[in-house]
Amino acid sequence: MTDTASTQAAATPGSKPRKKATAFDKNPAKAGWVTKLVLGLICLLWMIPILGTFITSFRSLDAVNNSGWWTVFRHPLTMDLTLHNYHEALFGNAHMGRAFINSIAIALPATFIPILIAAFAAYAFTFMEFPGRDVLFLTIVSMLVVPNYVAFIPILKLYRNFGLNGTFPAVWLAHIGFGMSLAIYILRNYMATLPKTVIESAKIDGASHYQTFFRLVLPMSVPALASFAIFQFLWVWNDLLVALVFIGPGENEPLTVSLTHLKTTLGQGWEVTTAGGFLVMIVPIIVFLSLQRFFIRGLTAGAVKG
């Protein structure tokens, strides 16, 4: 009776045959031990320099000269740790405390201004029709292949005529101009994946482009905005070339320029350099970890599921 009922249920019109479960269906996202081992080794190799820099930044000059940083694990209770390196880096001749404020004053405007301008441009390239739209977009994207240093000399001449050399607006405009092409490219590609029905419904309801942009498109584009914000912030914060060319050493120098003053020409003072280096890297690490979920969503936007 049981076999007959099963046969009749399988022959019922409209019923779908049950797919036989496989081992992959039971654990579709489970990684093998080889993958876990490889990823673990990569993470370990990636963390070793950071760990060494962190430990060295707390060691005294005598301890640094007499032994390696890994020796602290042999006698952890007798470690000679000190905050002198951080005090010297922040309040010494390098003035990294002032440079830290300068880096924030440079990185925040150079991150938010191109995002705002690129968001307007990406909306126009995606949802507005005007002559030469595709040609203009391709022209902007083609600027990605042009190295930024080829424009340094003409930009320096312009800054000299306007008296901007060595000021914050000089480096703001440089980072905004160099990052605008990538910002427009990322945001335009993301906005192209947004549902067109929502935009059309807003147009039927009489919403203007201004209202559609701020109330619909901008909130839905948060993952892409956060992804580019991470790219731009890390680039501006860790930049040395643009800072040296357009600001240089002085009262407005950022952390990357100030970090070069910690080590003398004779190779001394590198224990203080480790403290300064950790001060430089801690902010990008915090920013990346806090925006990681938006970063992943922005990179995977538009992916097609099989």
Averaged pLDDT in 10-residue chunks for the chain of 306 residues: 46 48 50 84 87 83 77 71 81 80 92 91 89 90 84 89 89 90 89 86 85 88 86 90 88 87 64 83 83 65 46
Whether the predicted model's global pTM rises above the 0.85 cut: no
Q: What's the number of CA atoms in the CB half-sphere (13 Å) around residue 157?
A: 3
Q: Is residue 10 part of a domain?
A: no
Residues 76 and 210 in one domain: no
- Supply the pLDDT for residue 236: 92
Secondary-structure percent of the chain, ordered helix, strand, coil, rounded to 5: 70, 0, 25
Look at residue 88 and tell me if it is in a domain: no
State whether 131 and 179 are in the same domain. yes
Residues 164 and 223 in one domain: yes
Cα 179 to chain centroid, rounded: 12
> 93: number of CA atoms within 13 Å, CB side?
8
CA proximity to 253, closest of 157, 170, 136 = 170
Last residue of a domain, one of 82, 111, 143: 82
Count of domains for the chain: 2
Does 241 share its domain with 113? yes
Judge whether 21 lies within some domain.
no
Print the domain residue range for 38.
31-82
The crossing angle, in degrees rounded to 10, of helices 133-142 and 168-191 is 130
Task: Clarify whether residues 73 and 211 are in a common domain.
Answer: no
With respect to residue 5, please indicate whether it lies within any of the assigned structural domains: no
- Same domain, yes or no: 72 and 104: no
Q: What amino acid is encoded at 211 in this protein?
A: Q
- Tell me whether residue 6 is in a domain: no
- The whole-number pLDDT of residue 249 equals 85
Give a yes or no: residue 44 inside a domain.
yes
Report pLDDT for 149.
83
Domain boundary among 82, 106, 123: 82
- 14 lies in a domain? no
Residue at 247 is within a domain: yes
Residue 159 and residue 292 in one domain: yes
Return the pLDDT at 305: 43
The length of the chain is: 306
Q: Do 99 and 65 have their domain in common?
A: no
| pLDDT recorded at residue 300 | 57
